[in-house]
Amino acid sequence: MARGGRVAAVLAEVWPFVEQRHGAGQRVVLARLVRRAGPGSRPLGATMAVASDGGWTGSVSGGCVEGTLLDQARSVLDGARPRLTAISPGADLMPWEPAPACAGELSVLICPAPAGPVYAAIGAALATRRPLALGIELRPPFPWSTATNRDGLPGGAEHFVEELGPGPMLLLVGATDLAAALAALAVPMGYRVAVVDPRPAYAQRERVPAADDVVCAWPDEWLATVALGPRDAVLVVTHDPRIDDRAIRAALAGRAGFVGALGSRDTHARRLARLAGIPGLDRLTGPAGLDLGAASLAQTALSMLAEVVAIGNRRTGGRLRDARGKIRAVDAASPHPRR
């Protein structure tokens, strides 16, 4: 039995489309990548959603096979039976035409989006970030099942299993315009974003609308109530040492995998002087961000979040053209077929 992993973003990429079309009375068929032999540009679980009104969203291969899958999904919408289909990028090319790099055979399940309790459970899990194990039996009629964890799913026949669950926490200290830009980038990437600011005039949800939580509290007091782990990150962006220093001391005393702070090199040098001697100061990243030459709020947010992602994936954040090895980090969170 191959172990499945926790997935925070793959199904979530298309689920808003599924819910929107479902609310409009449209039928939706999903094309889901459940096996792959060889390299590919999308992880297992990658999904296309095709609606009966002709609209569709999502990707299984990044562009190589979507046209063929679109036709097959529409045939299921027109009454054909759901199917587990094998498809190879470039299979329709002439012998002398070059095949795409992602030429491995893909196994794609094409079936209606789940209804009833399974539909409701997926929506609730994604909306509340509660853990949910989701199974699809890979033989007709391809029934869906859910449980609080994978051990509660039916056994026996082959299933595709994925575990939806909360993504890593990104704590933003300071409900600033930069925090709003960071949250807008981070939430679609699967981060749970909490914003903490002790200033009532700042700690308002409308200032950071994309965040999961906006809390009016001193960051060190809030951190004392939350157990951050190695997958989590803290970015301190108030630019006010009365708040920043308290947040940094508390964050470095915990287990967050990344702790970074906004500021120029001079600002950071003064910060290090103020905090000299505290345990874990060598873990503090400042100025936080990759060297993008960022000038705007959006570019600064991109720079800072890119470093968070790179460190989380144990990468340096350099140019891909200058790197060697796999482009995509080994994704322990990808779901796998289960036998």
140-175 pLDDT, tens digit each: 999 999 999 888 888 766 889 888 888 899 999 999
Q: How confident is the model at residue 8 (pLDDT cuts 50, 70, 90)?
A: very low
Classify strands 336-338 and 159-164 as parallel, antiparallel or unpaired.
antiparallel
CA–CA distance, 208 with 176 (Å, rounded to integer): 8
Give 110-140 pLDDT, tens digit per residue.
999 999 999 999 999 988 888 899 999 999 9
Number of residues in the chain:
339
Strand, helix or coil for residue 55: coil
Tokens linked to 211: 């965040």
The pLDDT score that the predictor gives to residue 333 is: 38
Identify whether the C-beta of residue 137 lies closer than 8 Å to the C-beta of residue 154.
yes
CA-wise closest residue to 335 among 40, 39, 43:
43
Strand ranges in 41-104 using DSSP code E only, listed in sequence order:
47-51, 56-58, 83-87
DSSP alpha helix (H) spans, 45-200: 66-77, 116-128, 177-186
Mean per-residue pLDDT of the chain: 87
Q: Across residues 175-203, what is the average pLDDT?
A: 95
CA–CA distance, 64 with 76 (Å, rounded to integer): 21
Residue bearing tokens 């947040």: 247
Asked whether residue 339 carries a pLDDT value surpassing 50, the answer given is no
Identify whether the C-beta of residue 144 lies closer than 8 Å to the C-beta of residue 118.
yes
Identify whether the C-beta of residue 32 lies closer than 8 Å to the C-beta of residue 47.
yes
Q: What domains can you pick out in the chain, each with its CATH number?
A: 6-164 (no CATH), 169-312 (3.40.50.720)
Please give the C-alpha separations between residue 214 and each of 187, 197, 241, 244, 303, in angstroms, as whole numbers.
14, 8, 20, 17, 23
Tokens linked to 134: 């989701």
Beta bridge partners of 235: 172, 260
Classify strands 105-112 and 6-7 as parallel, antiparallel or unpaired.
unpaired
Strand, helix or coil for residue 180: helix
Asked whether residue 9 carries a pLDDT value surpassing 80, the answer given is no
Which range, of 7-21, 53-67, 105-119, 208-222, averages the lowest pLDDT? 7-21
The pLDDT score that the predictor gives to residue 98 is: 47
Asked whether residue 60 carries a pLDDT value surpassing 60, the answer given is yes
Tokens linked to 289: 């961000």
Asked whether residue 201 carries a pLDDT value surpassing 80, the answer given is yes
Residue 300 sits at the vertex; the CA angle it makes with 273 and 240, to the nearest 5 degrees, is 40
The pLDDT score that the predictor gives to residue 11 is: 84
Give 61-107 pLDDT, tens digit per residue.
877 788 899 999 999 999 999 999 998 765 554 444 444 545 568 99
Q: Across residues 55-59, what is the average pLDDT?
A: 94
The pLDDT score that the predictor gives to residue 334 is: 37
